[in-house]
A and B are shown apart, each in its own frame.
Chain A
């Protein structure tokens, strides 16, 4: 199978491209998303939320290349045999690429590792997600934007999950860049239109040292059910994931979805939908 742009052997099928042209295609796709949705201003101070996996490492590499000065921010939830491994890769990547890395720990910030927390409450993704979102927003204060490694698969899954759970206001989060709101650092997703397979191929072809890792709590999540369904839809009907996102962006632009109002948590001062934020409520429940 030959590349559609030259006579080299293709390494990717859709689109049919050799290594050099696939890398060019992928980087252009990310740059086009950054330009089209105005993800970056020249003077933005940007922090990249990093896990050490292929997606966030790719974002870190490309923003360093396109924008220059970026800082990596990692959260160590305390998941033994998983996060400790991915952070080894991330530390090496940051050192090799001269990128400043800041790591925050659940144990230090909330008094317990996630592994310990889950002995008391058995809904891993909810507990982890609440604390990760809280810490990310809190620790990114002082930066203009938080860049995350969410790819097209992640976003199509999120749209479908929020529809299935009837979380209409959360649909507003599945966008290439979140709107400006007091108390929140804007979040942007440069890989919004890149499929998981494209990101994995790019990371492999660039030689990023990101081994296969899977969160040990993943099987228990609803996301896993939705991920499998979407992969089956995509197999039967190519373009399903992209179609979901394109229609989703059009719909949330056309219809008015009211956001839940927020106040500030009386304990920590972070934005919250009630007097005490979810993170502080969880911390109390673990005491």
Chain B
């Protein structure tokens, strides 16, 4: 699947099927610090994604 990590301004490709919370765990990202968007819609950590999907991981922390 295609993943855009906003905080690092980085696009990655990863083989993954499962819940968003497990994807974040794999990527070592604390779920309290991000929002995940798929097809321009906000999705939750309990939502399922598959290899065909493309998601954006947006950082909730901004500013200084």
Contact = CB atoms under 8 A, between A and B. Distances in A.
A230 to B, nearest CB: 9
Interface residues of A, number: 35
A1 B61 contact: no
A234 B63 CA distance: 20
Given A1-B44, A11-B42, A13-B46, A213 B62 contact: yes
B43 to A, nearest CB: 7
Contacts, number: 74
Query: Interface extent on B, as a size class?
Result: 20 to 34
Contacts of A234: 32
A54 interface: yes
A212 interface: yes
Contact of B62 (A13, A54, A195, A235): A54
Given A197-B35, A231-B30, A204 B47 contact: no
Interface in B30-62: 30-33, 35, 37, 41-47, 58-62
Interface of chain A, main secondary structure: helix
Given A11-B42, A13-B44, A204 B58 contact: yes
A241 to B, nearest CB: 9
Interface in B11-47: 30-33, 35, 37, 41-47
Contacts of B63: 51, 53, 55, 213-215, 218
A201 interface: yes
A210 B37 CA distance: 15
A123 interface: no
Interface of A: 1, 10-13, 16, 19, 51, 53-55, 125, 128, 153, 195-197, 199-201, 204-205, 210, 212-215, 217-218, 221, 227, 231-232, 234-235
14 contacts: A12-B42, A13-B45, A13-B46, A53-B62, A195-B32, A196-B33, A200-B60, A200-B62, A201-B60, A213-B62, A213-B63, A214-B7, A218-B63, A232-B30
Interface of B: 6-7, 30-33, 35, 37, 41-47, 58-64
